[in-house]
Amino acid sequence: MRLALIILCLFGILVCCAAEAKAYPQLSKKQEKIAKRGLPHAVQKYAHVVNRYWSKYLWKDGHRRLSVRALRNALCVIWWESNGRRYCKTGVHCGIFQIRRDHFRGRNPWRIVSQAATSGMLYARLGWRPWAQTAYRGVP
């Protein structure tokens, strides 16, 4: 009886995780490739994780989709803010998006997933305002 209950619980967790993974639309690999074109390699490697988490939080916030242009702008922001260096620290700001440490709320600010998720939440709520100086600078 206990074994059946454990198996049922594990199955429920797997189903919930699968539903969470497919619950929001992301850009395709081809669209990601278009957004990365012409950018330095130090920035290109973050395209997939930014696509995943920004898409997730935009969808949760108001059922909006991430555009190719927004992903490209995000990659340019990464370049202008930190040159793609994940451990970049400037005063109280840190990471690839140079986000204040108090925005991380218990997450490890040095993990790329935490940086992408936190910046995705900020973008969903505030748009490009946190990165107003660098969002439209263009390709480095």
Domain boundaries, the chain: 25-131
- Beta-sheet pairing, 89-90 with 99-100: unpaired
- How far the first Cα of the chain sits from its last, in Å, is 61
Q: What is the pLDDT of residues 96-116, one digit of tens each?
A: 999 998 888 888 889 999 999
Q: Is the pTM of this model over 0.85?
A: no
Question: Mind giving me the DSSP string for 92-132?
Answer: TEETTTTEEGGGSTTS-TTSHHHHHHHHHHHHHHHTTGGGT
Structure confidence at residue 23 as a pLDDT band (50, 70, 90):
confident
Distance from C-alpha of 44 to C-alpha of 33, rounded to nearest angstrom: 9
Q: Is residue 66 within 8 Å of 55, Cβ to Cβ? A: yes
Distance from C-alpha of 6 to C-alpha of 13, rounded to nearest angstrom: 11
For residue 134, is pLDDT > 90?
Answer: no
Q: What is the pLDDT of residues 24-69, one digit of tens each?
A: 889 999 999 999 999 999 999 999 999 999 999 999 888 888 999 9
Q: Cα angle vertex 77, ends 46, 34, to 5°?
A: 55
